Amino acid sequence: MKNSEINNSDTFKKFHLLIIGSKMAKYSAIFLVFLSLFLMFYSEKNMLIIVTLLIGVAVLGIYIFKFLPLSNINQKPNSQGSLSSSILKFKTYMSNRKKFEILFISIWALSLIPFLSSYFDSGIKAIIAAILFIVPTAVFGMLAFIKAEKEVQTLESQIQIK
C-alpha cells in the first residue's frame, strides 16, 4: 500500500514538473517579446528595424496566445481520474506546440536580422548569426519534446498499471 502511495505521489510530481517546463516556455517567449520591444526602442528611428522587430513581436504574441496557454489543463490534479484527463490534454497540448514552435521561434530570430546587420559589417554575418541561433534552438527543442513525450508515456503507463 505504501509503495503505491509513493508511486502515486511521484506521478503527480512528474506531471507538475512537466507543467512547470511548459510555463517556462511561455515565460521565455514573453522574455523574447520584451527583448524585441527593447531593441525597437533602442533602434529609435530606423523604420526597417522597428517594423521587422514588430513582426517578430506579433509572431511571438500569436504563439503565446494560441499555442502556450495551459488554461484547459488541470495543473494540480487531485485524483487519478483528473490526472489521467490532464495528461491526455497535456499530450494534445505538446503535440500542437511541437508542430509550430520552431517555426515561430525561427521567424522571430529572422526578424532580428536587420537589427543585427546594423552591428555587423554585412547582412551575411547577421543571417549567419540568426541561423546559429535557430539551429541549436531547434535541436535542443526537439530533444526536449522527445524527453517530454517519454515522460508523458511513462506517466500514462503508471496510471494504467494502478
How much is the pTM?
A: 0.84
Q: How far is it, in rounded angstroms, from Cα 113 to Cα 48?
A: 10
Q: Is the pLDDT of residue 29 over 80?
A: yes
Name the packing angle between helices 47-67 and 2-43 (round to 10°): 160
Neighbouring C-beta atoms of residue 61, cutoff 10 Å: 14
Instruction: Give the pLDDT of residue 2.
Output: 42
Instruction: Give the pLDDT of residue 131.
Output: 93
Q: How far is it, in rounded angstroms, from Cα 57 to Cα 34?
A: 8
pLDDT-based confidence at residue 4 (cuts at 50, 70, 90): very low
C-beta of residue 13 within 8 angstroms of C-beta of residue 59: no
Q: What is the pLDDT of residues 98-135, one digit of tens each?
A: 989 999 999 999 999 999 988 887 789 989 999 999 99
In the predicted model, what is the mean pLDDT of the chain?
A: 86
